[in-house]
Amino acid sequence: MISPAGSFRIFLASEPVDFRKGMDGLVAHVANHFELDPFDGAIYVFRSRRADRLKLLVWDGTGLVLTMKRLNGGRVWMPPVWQA
């Protein structure tokens, strides 16, 4: 088993994203909407509109990694969005 060393920052997008977006589209989304550096090693988690799929984007030091998970018969629970 390979276990990541150190601590990770995980950012969870509170609103769904267009799941047609690939790596480049999600990198642009992180940079433009969140004003964060997508190449800082943090893990960025996005969900689909139906909340039955997740995409994780992370820079591992050598390149971008994009992982997608489709839930079988379930949905991702998301906390409510806080509005100021």
Please name the residue ranges forming H helices in 1-84.
23-33
3-state helix, strand, coil in the chain (%, to 5): 15, 25, 60
Q: What is the pTM of this model?
A: 0.82
Q: Where are the chain's structural domains?
A: 10-70
In this predicted structure, the answer to whether residue 25 has a pLDDT above a threshold of 80 is yes
In this predicted structure, the answer to whether residue 29 has a pLDDT above a threshold of 70 is yes
- pLDDT-derived band at 78 (thresholds 50, 70, 90) equals confident
Task: Give how far Cα 63 sits from Cα of 22, 23, 41, 42, 57, Å.
Answer: 14, 11, 10, 13, 11
In this predicted structure, the answer to whether residue 42 has a pLDDT above a threshold of 50 is yes
Phi-psi sector, 3: left (phi>0), alpha (psi -120 to 50), beta: beta
Report pLDDT digits (tens) over 59-69.
Answer: 998 999 999 99
